Amino acid sequence: MINNADALGYYAALEVHPRADSSIIKRQYYEKAKYWHPDHNEDSRALEMFQKVSVAYDVLKDEKLRMEYDLLSCVYNEKDFPALGSLKIYKNQAGRDDKALRVLKQITVKTGNIRESKDICNIREACNMVLSTSINNWLFGWWGKSGFSVTKKAIKFNLNEVSADNYDNLKLLIHNAVAYEQENNIEMAWIYAKQAEALSANNEYIHQIIASFADKLGFQPKKTVKIPRWNSAELVRRQYLFPVFLILCLMFVMLMMFAGQGIMSFKSSEKGYYEERVLSGRLVATDMVESKIMKTDSDAMSKEYLIHLTQDCTIYNGPDVRYSPMVEGKANQTVRITGYTPDKSWYQIMLDNGEMGYIEKNKTEKGMGDQVPFGSHVYKGQ
């Protein structure tokens, strides 16, 4: 932070303190102007010093210009000091007025080539920019002789620089506060001054100048006027999105590799009716298998889908003998068809207690066998 209080040397030219009152400044000007007037001072520097004293007094005698000069001197030096009275307003990436601008500094690395950028943007624009830079660095930054070390430093730098708690941002906030005040946009000037005031809390001198500037604007904010906050936590989160995505992709690939080696298995038959799913220690049909079953009318008053077993046989938890046995069926036992596999080699059936199981079609015949017991879910037309 510059904090020189007199960037162009106006106070020094009049030999007064930056906090001197207007009467002292006026008295010093008359003395210095009289002394350096080229009509009676033969010093080779007389004209230059007379002009400098005059320019200094023109600024410092005007309360508004003096306040602007004091503010800008906090963040500008003699070489980059802007022209008083004609400051350009910094706007967002879309070229629009914005209450919440910050300077976003980033390092982009691509195959060993480093590019440093400094952009003025709002938080939404910054989110997109940091994500784009993060993707680039993680995909292309590691290549080349020094790619690893350079990219590592770039990632660390980018994470630290999103806080917006630095000199460049104080400079931006003060600049726009003065620029909007010159445009007579008092609300925007006040909003930027308040943001600068909060950022300069650790520097008492600058903090007091900004606070005084904000007070002299005379703006009375309504409840709808809010001081913007820079969401650096969201910008940090955005920079982690892509590496997390890469890790998840790597985990998925490893999972598929393990599955292929039998460490984890999802077995399926050629007909696609078998996929292992363990439920309470039993192999049962998965939702994917269940979705392939063609459903029938389950009206318990109808005999249309009643069948009976032709022999004692096993009823399974899925349409394949590799599923766990559900129950042992008896010859002539009456059951109801509630569905079937597309090739109709297996029936999904309802038992008396309402449970669903699977049986091979070739072990059944159409129509009722034994009478169903009272209260059975299979048939209620007795």
CATH number assigned to the domain comprising residue 21: 1.10.287.110
pLDDT per residue over 58-107, tens digit each?
A: 999 999 999 999 999 999 999 999 988 889 999 999 999 999 999 999 99
Does residue 311 lie in a domain region?
yes
Query: Distance between CA 72 and CA 70 in Å, rounded?
Result: 6
If one compares 274 and 90, the residue with the highest pLDDT of the two is: 90
297 inside domain: yes
pLDDT of residue 261: 60
Of 12-21, 133-142, 153-162, 373-382, the one with minimum mean pLDDT is 373-382
Q: For residue 224, is it within any domain?
A: no
Residue 262 has pLDDT above 60, yes or no: no
pLDDT of residue 1: 46
Residue type present at position 27: R
How confident is the model at residue 116, as a pLDDT? 93
Per the document, the length of the chain is: 382
User: Do residues 286 and 357 share a domain?
Assistant: yes
Q: Does residue 230 belong to any structural domain of this protein?
A: no
Domain count, the chain: 3
What pLDDT is recorded for position 382?
64
Rounded mean pLDDT of 317-336?
Answer: 93
Average pLDDT over residues 279-298: 85
Q: If pLDDT is split at 50, 70 and 90, which confidence band does 370 have?
A: very high
pLDDT at 128 over 90: yes
Average predicted confidence (pLDDT) for the chain: 89
Of 111 and 21, more confident = 21
Q: Is residue 284 part of a domain?
A: yes
Question: Per-residue DSSP letters for 222-274?
Answer: -TT-------HHHHHHHHHHHHHHHHHHHHHHHHHHHHHTTSS-----TTS--
**Choice between 297 and 150, residue whose per-residue pLDDT is larger:** 150
- Are 287 and 360 part of one and the same domain? yes
pLDDT, residue 67, reads 92
Q: What is the pLDDT of residues 327-356, one digit of tens each?
A: 999 999 999 999 999 989 999 999 999 899
Mean pLDDT of 259-277: 60
Predicted confidence (pLDDT) at residue 3 exceeds the cutoff of 70: no
Tokens read off for 340: 């079937």
Tell me which residue range forms the domain holding 211.
167-216
Query: Strand 306-309 vs strand 334-340: parallel, antiparallel, or unpaired?
Result: antiparallel
In terms of Cβ atoms closer than 10 Å to its own Cβ (0-12, 13-18, 19+), residue 39 is: exposed
231 belongs to a structural domain = no
Among the candidates 23, 49, 73, a domain finishes at 73
Going by C-alpha positions, the residue among 130, 353, 111 that lies closest to residue 241 is 130
Per-residue pLDDT at 221 exceeds 90: no
Q: CA dihedral defined by 172, 175, 176, 182, rounded to 10 degrees?
A: -170
**pLDDT mean over 193-207:** 91
pLDDT band, very low/low/confident/very high, at 260 (cuts 50, 70, 90): low
Residue 176 above 90 pLDDT?
yes
**Looking at residue 14, what is its pLDDT?**
94
- Using alpha carbons, select from 225, 220, 169 the residue that is nearest to residue 199: 169
Reply yes or no on whether the pLDDT at 264 is more than 70.
Answer: no
Q: What is the pLDDT of residue 269?
A: 43
Question: Which of 125-139, 222-236, 274-288 is predicted with the least confidence, judged by mean pLDDT?
Answer: 274-288
| Count of CB atoms situated within 10 Å of the CB of 241 | 13
Residue 301: CATH number of its domain: 2.30.30.40
Q: What is the average pLDDT across 135-147? A: 84
**pLDDT higher than threshold 80 for residue 265:** no
- Give the pLDDT band (50/70/90) at residue 259: low
The per-residue pLDDT for 224 is 79
Query: Is residue 125, in this structure, part of any structural domain at all?
Result: no
What is the token pair recorded at 320? Answer: 């394949």
**pTM, rounded to two decimals:** 0.65
Average pLDDT value for residue range 229-257 = 91
Is residue 268 one of the residues assigned to a domain? no
**What pLDDT, on the 0 to 100 scale, is given for residue 86?**
85
